[in-house]
Amino acid sequence: MPYDYDLFVIGAGSGGVRASRIAAGHGARVAIAEEHRVGGTCVIRGCVPKKLLVYGAHFAEDLDDAKRFGWTLGDRRFDWSTLRDNVLAEVTRLEAIYHETLSNQHVELIVGHATLRDAHSVEVAGRTVTADKILIATGARPLIPSLDGAEHGISSNEVFHLETLPKRLLIAGGGYIANEFAGVFHELGVEVTLINRGDTILRGWDQSLRDRLLQISMGKGIKFEFNCPFAGVERRDDGTLAVLDRSGKAIEGDMLLWAIGRRPNIEGLGLEAAGVKLDDRNAVAVDADSRTNIENIYAVGDVTDRIQLTPIAIREGHAFADTLFGDKPWRVDYDCVASAVFANPPLASVGLTEAAARNTLGTVKVFTSDFRPMRNVLAGRNERALYKLVIDAASERVVGAHMIGPDAPEIMQALAIAVKARMTKAQFDETVALHPTMAEELVLMR
């Protein structure tokens, strides 16, 4: 039977937009449904506005350091509304570019919540349309716990729209979102306390980097409350909030930010009607080609909970479109995917941690460089960077690289190429240093 579209995409985030425009470029008739704003988490309420806040917040330390470099500054004052509004304006500008991209590729944008009625039918904006192939790209959202008073907290979705900054901010969580916003708001003059259910931050990251970030963050004045399983949240008569743990301990603040994880957006999609199965993480289950258990229905990005990173969603969408509509089949390679935490200072990592390498490879060699960046020395800032290379002793191949320090994510992007290319420690050693830089430490470890 003839269908209204060759491809119908649910969700206009990074993965959905990439899949739509690539499929349309291959000649497919494509429509994409979005109930909120085009651009998804990354552009609208994630990586992009967060990174702009990181830039804005870092001026606090830059202005302090400037005195040691000979700059005399007059009175300084920070205005949250200026930063907030400029960041939101940039988000709006980028959203317009996404609209233009879809329009230029002749992808029909349908505003509304899409629901599967069967394997080939979708109800959206008051009508039912049919499609040969359907792609689910609805992403994920912040997890809010089922606790008494949890509604008194906000999530990362709302944090970009605050009317004013709180005096005391409680952040529930210990992952990358928690540590990133802790760094931002601390630099903006907010008293920050991280409340963690467990006893560690950044679970899954290399132990040396986690320890260093904790040490530096505490030195800056960020407070940490570990082993505090959440029992509830109370709003006091004076407007303050109190996070309660199971022992009855109360941690007080003026605002609470939930940063305890993200969950795939699967509700209200009609997955049951179409017969689409979920995995044990309540994400859409897919194979290596992003196909669900239903032959013509696919899913990419955070809704599949494979690796929740924007570049991964983009590649999954691209591979899907090339394979199905471009006669160019390929699959995403999930090995050696670099990641970063834009904390203060930032962290970056690729490949195996030291612990994972010892567990999987047996004998490994570990090289580290623990140093104070030149800028920090002159600024009188006692903050050290740490670089680590993990080597497979049998092959001498660099199997992991981990960094914490200024511009670590920028350096890691190039370093990730070397790790992905399976280069050896000897090849690192043969590379002449670029002096004076922080990155030269990577080729000077002996």
Phi, psi of 317 (to 5 degrees): -65, -40
Planar angle of CA 125, 129, 135, nearest 5 degrees = 95
Asked if 424 contacts 395 with a C-beta cutoff of 8 angstroms, the reply is yes
- Identity at 405, one-letter amino acid code: G
* Residue 435 a catalytic site member: yes
Torsions phi, psi of 182, nearest 5? -60, -45
Residue 356 structure tokens: 């994972």
What angle (nearest 5°) sits at the alpha carbon of residue 95, between those of residues 283 and 344?
70
**3-state class of 205 per DSSP?**
coil
Identify the active-site residue in 113, 120, 402, 435.
435
β-bridge pairing 347-351 and 398-404: antiparallel
Name the token pair of 20.
């739509």
Q: For the residues of 227-296, what is the DSSP string, one character each?
A: S--EEEEEE-TTS-EEEEETTS-EEEESEEEE-S-EEE--TTS-HHHHT--B-TTSSB---TTSB-SSTT
Residues acting as catalytic residues: 435
